[in-house]
Amino acid sequence: MGSSSAPRGIRTTTLARLRLAAQGLLPVASVGERLGPAADPAAAVRRMAALQSQDLQSGLLAVGLRTRAGTASGVAASLASGAVVRTWTMRGTLFTVAAEDVRTFLGLAAERVMRLASARHRELGISEEDVAVVRKAAEERLPGRGMTRAELFDVFEAAGQPTASQRGIHLISILSHRLVLVQGSLRGRQQEFRLADEWLPPGPGLAGDDALEHLAARYIASHGPVDERDFAWWLGQPLGAVRGPFAAAAARFETVALDGRTLWCAPEVATVADSRAGARAVVALPAFDELAIGYPDRSVAIPDDYLQRIIPGTNGVFKAMVAVGGRAVGTWTKGGRASAPRVELELFEPLGPAASAGAARAAARIEAFWAG
């Protein structure tokens, strides 16, 4: 479906708006049913392919904001049903993904991630024999039930495997990368681990170039405009490995250009460039949201002047941010009681009346998510 003519040039501010649209963060009234928020949490997760979720509460909110009238209880229900799960899928990081996609992601990522983590495993004294012990213990204790991390650590300790000094979480990560464990239902503010073969749909998932092309198409549709370098970084794979599959997937999409760089996006996303849709849209996003962290170049979503205020010390810890037109203009924090949460905004620049009203609505949207 890609155009044979030269891609139309866009500016950074337009790119930010197009990515807002692709990620389902603009209202239906602005962009229509196809680009608006998803009907339910599982559909929102499938649309995004994967949502970074190393912080559980931020991960829940990231799903909810991409769902029409999404609430914390609604996202929790999608986890309890098994439709979506949270696990280590790529880059050694936790993501929320559709249950049917887990095997495809891990088939690509597990060996590479575990190889990169092997030195740390040696420092922690984790041998293959130790992994076999905790695997046997988990497979004996988990059938038909879930356990929190603390409960699983107790099982490991009882089997003679220490869990202090991050050893326990690395053992869980190894079992998760080997598709023994996956995280399912919430229990309070904790998430239960389940046996992957009980919790995930059967089947091997896609592999090799088929998997790469499939995920490239999903990434372009949900994160575009993007290019092969963005995809390689997001998936944690070498550029050379993804180049061919990305090109095959990209042939079905439209192109735009920024500073001589060709980027691909869904046709309906490209049409947003012809309007002002999203230019004044205000969204309040959780820490580690895909809009900021789903690309190697953070400057599209975070202007250089604000980088240190969103990522202090550029240490990889992202604050929750407020964005206008897909570009950060402030941060926010949540306070109040669980039954009556309150969002406090810290804006970096004055906003006009319309944007100020939008910021108030964005804060209220998050309060409604946690109260629901």
Q: What is the phi-psi region of residue 113: left when phi exceeds 0, alpha when psi lies from -120 to 50, beta otherwise?
A: alpha
pLDDT reported for residue 108: 97
pLDDT reported for residue 53: 96
- Measured between alpha carbons, how far is 303 from 340 in angstroms, rounded to an integer? 33
In a domain, 352, yes or no: no
In a domain, 343, yes or no: no
pLDDT reported for residue 266: 97
Cα atoms found within 13 Å of the Cα of residue 188, Cβ hemisphere only: 4
In a domain, 53, yes or no: yes
In a domain, 312, yes or no: no
| 343 backbone dihedrals φ, ψ, rounded to 5° | -100, 125
Rg (CA), the chain: 21
In a domain, 46, yes or no: yes
- Measured between alpha carbons, how far is 40 from 78 in angstroms, rounded to an integer? 9
pLDDT reported for residue 337: 83
Q: Which residues of the chain have pLDDT under 50?
A: none
Alpha helices in the chain (DSSP H): 12-22, 28-31, 41-48, 56-65, 72-81, 102-123, 128-141, 149-158, 167-177, 196-199, 208-223, 228-235, 239-250, 267-270, 290-293, 307-310, 353-371
pLDDT reported for residue 2: 52
Q: What predicted TM-score, i.e. pTM, was given to this entire model?
A: 0.95
In a domain, 151, yes or no: yes
Structural domain count, the chain: 1
Note the pLDDT tens digit of each residue in 100-112: 999 999 999 999 9
- In this structure, which amino acid lies at residue 267? P
In a domain, 316, yes or no: no
**Quick check: 113 and 88 in contact, CB under 8 A?**
yes
> Domain range holding 143?
41-199
Q: What is the DSSP letter of 145?
A: -
In a domain, 161, yes or no: yes
- Measured between alpha carbons, how far is 159 from 175 in angstroms, rounded to an integer? 15
pLDDT reported for residue 32: 86
**Residue 122's domain is classified under what CATH number?**
1.10.10.10
End-to-end CA separation in angstroms for the chain:
41
Place of tokens 């495993």: 121
Q: Which two tokens stand for residue 134?
A: 């905790």
pLDDT reported for residue 43: 98
Nearest to 211 by CA among 118, 372, 102: 102
